Every structure is written in C-alpha cells, then in structure tokens.
Structure 1
C-alpha cells in the first residue's frame, strides 16, 4: 500500500548523476543575460528508467574500480609478502638485541656479581694498594735519607780521628741540613698512625650480632669491651741501630727493657687528638655503636636490656669498660630515654674520659697530659654524630610509632614529651648536641601536627580497606536515621514526632524540594558508605579538641577520604557496578547518601572547629551527586541495551501473521516484561520511591517508544497482522503493575509543582502516565490496531490522538487501510492538523 517514492539511497545516486556545481557555474555566466529576459525552462523530473540506468552505470564503474584495485593488489602481493617476512625477521632480531641488552644490563648492575660491583671493588682495592705502595716508597725514601746521614756521620768520625777539624765541621753542617729537609715529612706521621691503628685494634673488642643470633626470632646481642691498658704491638718496639757499629747483647736487652710494654687509654686518646687522627681511628667504634647498639635500642625499646660496666668507678680505677646489649623476648620496664641517657653518660665519662686529669692513681703520666679539651673535641665530633643519629632514629622510629592515634592518647603524651626534652637537654649539657640540634624538642612540640598526619594516614588506610571489600551488605536509611540525633530532632520538630506508618509508605508522599536528589529516607545504602560517614564524623569530633593549627589538618583528612572514595570505588569495582544492576544502583544511593550527610555537617558542627568558623563540603557535594548520577545513567544505558536487544529479536514485527514470526515477536515482548519485573524486584528494595519510579519509567518509556517506532515503520499491515500486533502490544501492559503504588508520589510531585506556581495537574490518569510520557501514545497505538477507520477518525476529531504527529497518523492509516476515496478524504483531514479546539481544551 506504499506509494512510489525515492528512497534516501536512490535520491543520493540520482543527485550524483546530475551535473556538478562546477559544471553549472561554467554555464552560469553565458546564460545570465538570457535568464534575465527569457523565462526559465521547466525541468522534467527523470523517469524511473533513467534513474535505474544511472544507478546501473555507477554500479558498473564501482565494480570496474574494485577490479582494478584487486588487480593491483595481486600484482604487489609478492612484494608485500616479502616485506612482511623481512619485517618479521627484523622484529626477531630486535627482540634478540633487546634480550641481549637486558642481559648485559643485569650483568652490569647486579649488586653482588655485576660488573659495576666488581669494578668498584677493584677500584677500592687498587686505591688501598696504591696507598700502601706510596707509604712503603715514602718509608724507603726515609731509610735512604737516614742512611745518607749515617754515611755523613761516619765521614765526620773519620775526619775527627784524622784531626781534620774543618772537614769535620762541614760534615756536621751537612748532616744538620739533611735532617732539616727530609724527603717526605709524612713518613713519621704515617708510621705513628699505623701503630695507632694496631693500638686501637688491641683496645677495642666488639662482638657483633651473628647469624645465629638473628635466627632466634629477633634475639640479638652486642658487646663492646674497652681495655684501659693496651698492649703495644711488638712491631712498634725500638729496633737496633742500622749502623755498622756493633751493639752488644746487653745494650739490646737494656733498650728492650726500657721500651714500654703497654699504654693507657688516655694516652692513646691524647695521641689521636694531637695527630688529628681521631675521626679515622674511632670511626669503626662509632659505626658499630650506631648500627648495632643505638639502632636496636630504638627499634626494640621494650625488649632491649642495656648493661654498662663500670657503673660507679671512674677511669683509671677499673681495668676495662663494657657495653652490652641484649634483645630478648621478655619485656623490659626501663624506658628508652632512660637507657639512652645512661648510654651517653657512660660514653661521656668512661670512653671520652670526662673529668679525668691524670696523676691521681700512681700513673707515670704527668698531671695535665689529658686536658678537658680532648673530651670536648671527641664529644663534639665523634659523639655528636652518634647523638644526632640517636635523636633522628628516636624521632623517626620510636616517637612516630607511639604518636597518639586518639585525642585521649594525645593528652597523655606530655610525659613522653618531657622525657624526650630532658634527654636532649642532657646531651646538650654534655656537649653532644647544641641548641640548634633539638630534633626531639621540635618533634614533640609539633605533636599535634604529627597526630593529625598519623590520623590522616590511619583514616585513609581504614577507608581504603573498607572501600576495597567486596561485601555490599545494605542497611535501610530509615534505620540509620533512627540512630541519628539530628534526624530525630528534625522529625520531632518538623513532623510532630508522630508521622510515619508501620508500612513505611507515609514518607513516600513527601518529596524533597529537588526530586532528582531523591528522598533517601526510604532507600538502602551499603554498610561501607555508612562506615565512611562514621569515620568522617568521628574525625571531625576529634578535631574539636585540637589546636587551631592542627584541627584544619583533620578536616582536610576527611576531604582526602571523600576524594579517595570518588577515585577508588568507580575504578576498583568498575566491572561489578556496571554488570550487576542492584550494585550499580546501590552505588548511586551511596553517593547521594554521602552527599546528604556532608550537607548536614555544618548543622552538626555549628560552632565549627578550632581554626575554622564553619566546616562545609560545598565543593565536594556536587561532585558526589554528579558521580552517582553518572553511574545511574550507566546502569540505565546498560538496561536500555538489553531492552533493545530483546526488541530487536522481534525482527521489526514483520509478517506477524506467520506463526513462527508471531512466536518470535511474542518471546521478545515477554522478555521485555521479564526484564522490567526483574528490575522492579531488585531495585524497589534499594532505591527511594521517587528514584525507583523515575528510573523504571525512563526505561519503560524508552522501550515503548522503540516499539512504537517499529510499528510505525511497517508499510503494509493486513487485518490479521493488525490483530496480532495488538496482541503483542498488550503484553507490555503487564508492566503497569509496577506503578500501582506510585499514586502518593505523583500527588506529592504535583503538589510541589503547584506550590511553585506550576501546572497543578490532576490524578485522573493512572500514575504510570506521570513517569512514562509515551504510555498514553502506546495505549492509543494498541487501540488503533484494532479500531475501525470510523472509530479512529472519531478519536482524532475528539482530540484523543494528539500525542501522535500528523505524519505518524497518516503513515499508520496508509499502512492499515487500502487506498480508497474514503482514505484520501480522511488523510486530507488528518494532514490539515489536529482539531484546534480540542487541543486547547486538553
């Protein structure tokens, strides 16, 4: 029953066959004068045969071009294959080169067996060997120099024996000149420092934690023994003269007897300071005490016991000093600062010999050989490094670990802060630190800031753990509001405390001023978002007890938590939220609930927090709402795709008079109903009533609009097909049951609209029409498929078909009824437009 009209494709081909704009412009100028005087010639429309001929010509040209392209592809096929194989070969070689480069890189940077490690080790060994060679060469030069002086002295003795006084005087002058100009002035110092190295090795005995210690479940021990009487190595004793003069055994024995067999610790320190060698010679002891004594003390403060011997006697009474550290499973009562204070006092008194003046115990040293400046020098250099490392480790490890996590703990931190400052003062008094090195005082004075930083980290870690859980257990917002004092106050004041029925539907009749925000009171949210809200509120409550400098940090921590929620949830749970309709909608509710609770924060914290007059999240609330609506739209679009897939199985509702086609269409329509019933069952317990009917209405409106479009696209509908199509359309009427309880929502919405001065509306129609705008049109379409031509026109003249456009009605009439004078008259009436009076009345 369709008329002969040009399709879009045929029209495009016809236009392509017409002269181009460029050709028309070439004739435009020469025809301009004739066009101004003569009437325009009439242009005949091309006939169908001409159009079909043009189409066939274009198709042949396209086929010829395709054949030419295919021919060229075949000609170059071998070259393409060759290039492809060459590319594959190059790719293999590149992969091989990359593997070789990676192997070379690994062989180079391996920390134990890599080439870089070997080169560095070789360089260090080379440096040490070169230093030894240089030192030996210097010693050899010195020996040669002394041998030369010895030869001069022998010449002096010969001159004196011969009575040549003048020549003997010259020899003395020459010898003195040689003595004043040695070849290497560092020879003597190098020899002495080598002896000092041996003496330090004999003075200090250090037992490090062994592998066996580490294997005992964190049990470890460290022992340092300082011998106050240090044996002198035999290699450093005076040697016999190298001259040719023979020395009697008795003289050699006398020299050996006169040589010292040992030295005292203070003498060694005096030598180290005098030769400026203390930094080098005491560095091994310094490193050992930092890494194996101070560090374990800080890390195992409750399980480390420190033993210091002697405890009362001072140098030089005891024979030695001992420092022992044991880390055991037993808990120690002594606190860290007490242990550290005892340790540094021991180092100050028994290692650096503070207060010792010498000559009080029968020592052979003279009084004043060891002055207080030696102790000060060692304390300000070797000791300062140890003290600063101790304070740094205490601040970064111990104090950071015990930084309060609650406000009550923060109030109790004052005792620890006092101990830290007293310890640091003791180090300053002994000279280990200066007033500029107060790292512990700086830390404890800013404890509220450290508290907020720790609180922020804990808050984010706890929040992240909650967000990453796969548990999506739900809780009713109504139940949550019953536990909320602020909500109870609102209900008691605004609703008289008595509104709300047992069935929970009374709240459906009251919508918020923003319907899109939804009335969350009748919805459900996840337990995880409730936990996040509790974290935010608890953190803000703690902020009220902090200083004006620290409180804003906790407020910022809650903002970071909300930012983390908006960033992590849509990414970590993306597949789950997109593929599970109930969870996608639940995330929408969570975002809206979190936004609602953040909106209530200024009212909860009406007095603000120290440092902030008002606590608000006005910039984050719109972001949360936008995120929730985004995922709501994602879920709606997902369901639209399923609905479209189901409707497309009807194959455009073509030839429904055939039984198989009808059954396929029937299955498609029932599948649409099944989708809606499933969504209704899943979403009704989660969404608020307004959101539930709005979202479900959007989907149903989309589905019926698609069905209407498919029906209107049919060109010829027989009487039997018309009846079958009406049956198929009626299947979707089952969806009306989902909107049976929507009347209170519609009434509330109309009342809200009326209070704003809008259209009052009425409840004469079913509530489904409020949420599904296309539903009335769909019902009329179902009726049109069954009505007679006269009944259709009666409804048209009564203005009951105004939801159809004129062209839509005309297309339906042409598809349903044969071309008769009656149809032509009725089409003319329809094309003139809907009755104006009826439209105004409606």
Structure 2
C-alpha cells in the first residue's frame, strides 16, 4: 500500500494533537507506541514539503495582520492625537493649580518684583471677618427686636388684663395673668431676662396676681352667705349662694379712673378658681361650713331635723339657691331612715346648686380638661362626703347597733338605706368604688353587734361586781328547776365536793353573772360563724373581769368580814359549777365552735376561791392563836390571877368558834363548813395540848384548874352535833356510830384523853394505857405527863418503865 502525502496543516494538527493528549496509563502508552511502530517513517521529502507549507502559511498570516493594521491606522492616529491633546490640557490645569496655590500661600508676587500683592487667602480671611461682624450686628439687632416684641406682647397682655378687670371679666383676667406669667418665664434671651423692665413687669404681674387673688376672696365671700342661731334648745342654719356677684373695684397699678367692673356669674368665678388652681383653698371655708354647721348638726340631731332646699334646677335663670336646717332636740320629726334622705338632699344641693352639675357652658366645662363639676366634686366634695360617712358611722349607725337578736333582724331596712345612700354618692362622684365605709359597717353589723354586746355585757357586769349588795340566795332554791341538777350524771361532770353547794348560799350577784353568761351564749346561737365566737369570748372576759375586780374592789370587806369572805368562796365555786354545765346545756355548740368549754377559766375560779378561803381561815387561826397566847402557857394557873387570864383566853376561843359557826353555817355547804371549822378547832387543841405538855410540874390543884380550862373548849363540840349523817354518808361502811367531831377534828380524842389525865389517878391512867386507850400519845409524851403530874416514887419509876416499853395493841371499838 502506497504512503499518502502529509500536508503541512496535517502535520501541524497531528503534532498539536499529540502534544495536547494527556498522559495515560503506561499500558496505554505502550499500546500507543505499539500502534506507532506499525506507521511508516517520514521521508526527507515529506519533511521539506511540510516546512514549505508551513512557511507559506506564516507569510499568509503576516499579510493578513498587515492588512488589519493598515485598515485601522486612521482610528489609531486620531486616538494618539487625542491623547496628546488631553496631556496638554492636564499640564495646563496643573500649572493653573500651582499658580493658585502659590497665590494662596505666598502674599508676595512670584516674579520677585518690588510691589506688594494681597493673596487669595488674605482676601478670603478678610471677607470672613467682615461677614462675622455683620452677622453679630444682625443677631444683636434681631435680639433687640425679639426682646421688644416679647415686652410688647407682655404689655399687650397686661393691657388686656386691665381691660378685663375694668369690665369685671375675672375669668378672662385670670387667663391674662396665666399667659403673662408664662411669657415672662420664657424670655427670648438672657439679656431680656435680666433687663430692668422685665423685673418691673414681673413685679407688676405679681401685684396683679395678688389683686385678683384678693378679688377672688371677696367674690367668694360675696357669693356665700350663712346665718347660724344656736340657743341650746334650738338650732337654725341658713346658707344662700348668690349666682350673680358684684365685682368690687380694686386699686390696681395701671387701673384707669372711674372703672365700673360690673358683676360676674357663679360659674365664671368657679372657672377662674379652677383655672388658677386655687379652688381648693378659696372654697375651703365653704367646705368647713357645710361639714361643721350643716351636716354635723343634721346627722347628730337627725331625729328632730327639718331641712328645706330652694333650687329650681335652672341655673341660667336663677339668681340664687339656698338650704336651711332647723333642729329642736327632744322633738322627733321623722323616722330614723329619714337621715339618709336628708343628707342625700344636702349632697344633691351641693352637686347641682353649688357645683352646677348639668349646666352646659364651654367656659365652665372645658372639653380638653375635666369639667369643673368633676374637679370640685373630687377635690372638695370628696372630703365632705368622707367626713359625712364617718359622722354617720360614729353618731348614727354605731348608736343604733342592735342590743338583741330581734333588733338585729330588723336592722335590714337601715342597712339597705345606708348602702343606697353610699351608692348615690358614688354615682355623683363624691366617693369612689373603694370608699365603702357605710357598706362595710352594715355588712359587718353582726360583728358590731357582738362588740356592742360585749361592751354592754362588761359594763353591766362591772356594775354588778362593783356594787356592795351581798344579798344571798339558797342554791337549792335555784336548783329546783334545773334538770341538770336533778340528774347530775346527765351532764357528765365528775363530782367535786367543793362545788357540792346544794345546801349553801351564794350572793345574788354571782347568780346574775351566770345568767348573763347563759343569756349571751344563747344569743350567740343565732349569729354567723364569724360573729358568735366573739360573744363566747365576751363571756370569758366577763369572768376574767370578775376575778380581777372582786378581790381588789372588795378587798377590805372580804378580809374583815368572815361571812362575806366565805360567801365569795361560794360564789366562785358556784360560777365554776355552772360553767362546767355549759357543754351539757349547749350540746350542739354555737356557730363556729364545736364545743363551748371553759376548761382554763374553771380552775382559775376555784384557785381564787381557795386562796381567799385560805386567807380567811388563816386570819381566824391567827386570832385564835393570839387568844391562846394570852394564857401565857397556862403556867401556874392555880393562882387566881393566872387562872382568870387563862379562863378569859379559853372563853375567847369558844366565843370565836361560836361566832364563826353562826356566820358560816348558813353560807357554806355542810362538808366545807365542818371541814374548815374542824381544821381550826384541831389547830386550837393541838396548841393547847402542846402548851400543857410543856408544863414540867403540875400540882394537884393546878391539875384540876387545867382540866376545868380544857372543859371550856368542850362547848365547841356542839358545832358538830348535826354532822353525824354527813359523816355516815362520807364514811359508808367504815362508819361505827362515832362522835362526828372525831372525823373533822383528828386531835379531839387526844384532847379529851388529856383532859381526863389531868383528873385521873395514877392507877386509872395506867389502866387506860394498858387497855390501849392512850395510843394517840407517844411514849415520850406520856412519860413527860406522868413526871409532871406525879412525884418521883418507885411506883412512878416502874410505870415509866412500862410506858417506855411501848403501847399495847388498842382495844377494838366494837362491831361496825
């Protein structure tokens, strides 16, 4: 197969293609090399032909390039010429900038000539200085013109003020004063503010403000007229309000002679007061007058008050309005509910006749601000309303708080009237929704009732406690109709001997106090859970008051009068007993309390009773001991003088016992009576026994005298004659028909034996000793008595030895 000829373009493309191929994998290169090994090698002729072809192509390309250059030569020449021209202009501009810089920075000419030339900078600086001077003069002129304009405006305002004052136009004059004050407070410059004329105008404005303030005082005083006549037996008050008020002529700094101010209407005056913010101060006398001279007498004497109001409601046509109050204490004119109606009339008069509610006027009720009615109602009327509600609470509602349940049920109409009255004041704007003094009072009427009941209870209880009436009443008479006493187990109490008062007496005052407690608790059952516990606490306070006052107010009586001290003991025990019954009497409790208990009060009452009983018993014990002390130890009573003293002493003891028995027996319960008297007698006989045992040498005569003296005390024994049944009941099966005095006076048997020992022979004494009948004496006591009664003999020595060996067993007292 013949080798094809390779053109220059084909060769170039093949070379370019070979160079452009990326390097592949060695296996691919090997494959390519293998493929190339199969091509035939190029000859010299082929190479020469390729070179010739390549040269021809290069020449052709050059020719084409020259052709393009020749075709665009004209445009290139124009661009070159333009660039040269542009370079020249730039050089010219740079030259001009250099010249201008030289002229600005160098005041001398650049050619070095001997003449002086002003530079551009100096020219500009001179121009700026001239401009600043001219601007300052302009500003100064403007300030002068502004100050003159400012002062001119003030002058015009003051002139307008004078014209308004001359015409009696107080409202417009007030506007002028406000405007002048605002203008003076905003001067256009500090120079104007410190100028003399400004100070003069400010002082003149202040004088005019004082003048209008004085005029407002006179106008208010000229509008409101009051008359009061109080004779003590009758009260009359009249208030009239003139709606057209003559404006007084005042001496003003710039006032023209012969000015006639004329008159002003009430609404214009109020507008002026509100605008100048002096309504509260200027109308304060009217406010005090309404509270002190009208509302207070009306509320305090509401039951005899007559109120007349004269106001047609047409302010524009009316010349005045008035309100008149007349009261005559003691002469009722109406029902209690009329109070709210009358007070409401007063506030309606204030609202419409004074504050002009409903009157429409652009000057009076500004659209931009709150109306003058609202302002006056809030700042002045609210004080009047709050004061009135406080007075109604204090002088009316608090005084008609019911004192019983029926009255509490009937309080509804008054509560409704009070709430409606307060709602009316809120509707008129005198009060806010937060002001609910009357509503809170009537809605808490049960609490007020309990407080009033407590105060009434304590006041009545105090009067009962403080009085000196100690009349008595038998407890058994009180218990006849008491079902709980008929069946003592029915009220579940543990029997306390101290409160077993059936056969005793109490004072009427203790019964009265118990009745007051029960009545109060019964009334609490009809109240709410919030109120009823207050009455329970009131009964506790009553008992606390009794415990506090009785021992203090009646201290001297209770100390010096034994019967009344014992009566006080009974009273305390009786009140304690009745308080113990209350849970059984009120099994269902009271509202708010599951159980009505006096667990802490009852022990306090019993402690107080025991304390004063102890005081009285101790006082009587001391008196008895003093009487025994007058016997001077019964020493040498065989002497007539000594015996008489000892006899007086013993008789005094007997007299005291009989007096106590007479005073205490009708008062105390048998158990308490015998117990107290027994303790006193036991102390007496112990003292006598001790005194006799202390004697060391008793003669036969003296022994008989001592026995006679001891015999005097046996007269006290009859105080216990009637105690047998009580002892038998108390001892039960242990009772053996013994003398009841032995039960209450443990030392009585010993005293009896001692009295016998003073009369017995030595043999009889030893017989009783051997029979065990002297067991109440100790061996030492018997030995001492034997030595005192009998001379020292061998018989006495043998008997003493027998005694020292101890008592034989006492003989039994017989069958029970």
Q: Same fold (TM over 0.5)?
A: yes
Q: Whole-Å Cα distance in 2 between the matches of residues 631 and 238 of structure 1?
A: 90
Per the alignment, residue 225 of structure 2 pairs with: 205
Deviation at 1:174, TM superposition (A): 7.9
Q: 1:678 to 1:840 in 2, by over 3 A?
A: closer
Per the alignment, residue 699 of structure 1 pairs with: 680
Contact 1:270–1:370 under 8 Å retained in 2: no
Per the alignment, residue 3 of structure 2 pairs with: none
Q: Secondary structure at the match of 2:294?
A: helix
Name the stretch that deviates more: 459-468 or 691-700. Answer: 691-700
Deviation at 1:681, TM superposition (A): 1.2
Deviation at 1:762, TM superposition (A): 2.4
Q: Secondary structure at the match of 1:453?
A: helix
- Offset from partner CA, 1:630-682 (integer Å, 9 cap, x none): 11111111111221122122221111111122122112111111111111111
Per the alignment, residue 514 of structure 1 pairs with: 496
Name the stretch that deviates more: 402-411 or 317-326. Answer: 317-326
Q: Whole-Å Cα distance in 2 between the matches of residues 837 and 576 of structure 1?
A: 49
Q: Whole-Å Cα distance in 2 between the matches of residues 266 and 584 of structure 1?
A: 79
Contact 2:451–2:534 under 8 Å retained in 1: yes
Contact 1:357–1:371 under 8 Å retained in 2: no
Deviation at 1:744, TM superposition (A): 1.0
Per the alignment, residue 350 of structure 2 pairs with: 347
Q: 1:322 to 1:238 in 2, by over 3 A?
A: farther
Per the alignment, residue 291 of structure 2 pairs with: 290
Q: Which runs of 5+ in 1 are unaligned?
A: 1-141, 151-172, 242-251, 360-364, 495-510, 752-759
Deviation at 1:768, TM superposition (A): 0.5
Q: How does 1:500-579 map to 2 (within 5 A)?
A: 513-515=495-497, 517-579=498-560
Contact 1:693–1:742 under 8 Å retained in 2: yes
Per the alignment, residue 227 of structure 1 pairs with: 242
Deviation at 1:763, TM superposition (A): 2.6
Deviation at 1:457, TM superposition (A): 0.3
Per the alignment, residue 416 of structure 1 pairs with: 414
Deviation at 1:282, TM superposition (A): 0.3
CA RMSD of aligned residues (A): 2.8
Q: 1:339 to 1:372 in 2, by over 3 A?
A: farther
Deviation at 1:795, TM superposition (A): 1.1
Contact 1:512–1:518 under 8 Å retained in 2: no
Among 387, 405, 426, the alignment partner of 1:407 is 405
Q: Which runs of 5+ in 2 are unaligned?
A: 1-150, 160-190
Q: Secondary structure at the match of 1:235?
A: coil
Q: How does 1:209-608 map to 2 (within 5 A)?
A: 209=229, 213-214=230-231, 216-217=232-233, 219-235=234-250, 240=255, 256=259, 259-310=260-311, 312-329=312-329, 330-333=331-334, 335-358=338-361, 373-488=371-486, 513-515=495-497, 517-608=498-589
Q: Whole-Å Cα distance in 2 between the matches of residues 407 and 448 of structure 1?
A: 10
Asked if residue 805 in structure 1 is aligned to residue 778 in structure 2, the reply is yes
Contact 1:591–1:624 under 8 Å retained in 2: yes
Q: Secondary structure at the match of 1:437?
A: coil
Deviation at 1:177, TM superposition (A): 8.1
Q: Secondary structure at the match of 1:539?
A: helix
Q: Whole-Å Cα distance in 2 between the matches of residues 175 and 811 of structure 1?
A: 124
Deviation at 1:178, TM superposition (A): 7.4
Q: Whole-Å Cα distance in 2 between the matches of residues 189 and 292 of structure 1?
A: 32
Deviation at 1:818, TM superposition (A): 1.2
Q: Whole-Å Cα distance in 2 between the matches of residues 174 and 679 of structure 1?
A: 109
Q: Secondary structure at the match of 2:636?
A: coil
Q: Whole-Å Cα distance in 2 between the matches of residues 786 and 518 of structure 1?
A: 45
Among 632, 641, 654, the alignment partner of 2:622 is 641
Among 671, 676, 679, the alignment partner of 2:657 is 676
Per the alignment, residue 730 of structure 1 pairs with: 711
Q: Whole-Å Cα distance in 1 between the matches of residues 616 and 261 of structure 2?
A: 94
Name the stretch that deviates more: 685-694 or 553-562. Answer: 685-694
Q: Whole-Å Cα distance in 2 between the matches of residues 430 and 476 of structure 1?
A: 66
Among 790, 794, 816, the alignment partner of 1:817 is 790
Q: Secondary structure at the match of 2:506?
A: strand
Q: Secondary structure at the match of 1:465?
A: helix
Deviation at 1:595, TM superposition (A): 0.3
Q: 1:801 to 1:584 in 2, by over 3 A?
A: same
Q: Whole-Å Cα distance in 1 between the matches of residues 810 and 708 of structure 2?
A: 33
Contact 1:220–1:327 under 8 Å retained in 2: yes
Q: Whole-Å Cα distance in 1 between the matches of residues 771 and 271 of structure 2?
A: 121
Q: Whole-Å Cα distance in 1 between the matches of residues 364 and 749 of structure 2?
A: 118
Contact 1:477–1:524 under 8 Å retained in 2: yes
Per the alignment, residue 834 of structure 1 pairs with: 807
Deviation at 1:490, TM superposition (A): 5.1
Contact 1:195–1:236 under 8 Å retained in 2: no
Count of equivalent residues: 625
Per the alignment, residue 42 of structure 1 pairs with: none
Q: How does 1:587-666 map to 2 (within 5 A)?
A: 587-666=568-647
Q: Whole-Å Cα distance in 1 between the matches of residues 575 and 364 of structure 2?
A: 82
Deviation at 1:223, TM superposition (A): 2.1
Deviation at 1:535, TM superposition (A): 0.2
Q: Whole-Å Cα distance in 1 between the matches of residues 727 and 402 of structure 2?
A: 54
Q: Whole-Å Cα distance in 2 between the matches of residues 607 and 580 of structure 1?
A: 43
Q: Whole-Å Cα distance in 1 between the matches of residues 738 and 488 of structure 2?
A: 35
Q: Secondary structure at the match of 1:687?
A: coil
Among 650, 665, 668, the alignment partner of 1:687 is 668
Among 194, 199, 202, the alignment partner of 1:183 is 202
Q: 1:370 to 1:267 in 2, by over 3 A?
A: farther
Q: Whole-Å Cα distance in 1 between the matches of residues 623 and 423 of structure 2?
A: 75
Contact 2:572–2:609 under 8 Å retained in 1: yes
Per the alignment, residue 777 of structure 1 pairs with: 750
Contact 1:266–1:370 under 8 Å retained in 2: no
Structure ranking higher on relative contact order (CA contacts 8 Å, 6+ apart): 1
Q: Whole-Å Cα distance in 2 between the matches of residues 343 and 350 of structure 1?
A: 10
Deviation at 1:489, TM superposition (A): 5.5
Q: Whole-Å Cα distance in 2 between the matches of residues 675 and 841 of structure 1?
A: 36
Deviation at 1:175, TM superposition (A): 12
| Structure with greater Cα Rg | 2
Contact 1:543–1:609 under 8 Å retained in 2: yes
Contact 2:271–2:364 under 8 Å retained in 1: no
Deviation at 1:838, TM superposition (A): 5.7
Deviation at 1:734, TM superposition (A): 1.2
Contact 2:780–2:804 under 8 Å retained in 1: yes
Deviation at 1:327, TM superposition (A): 1.9
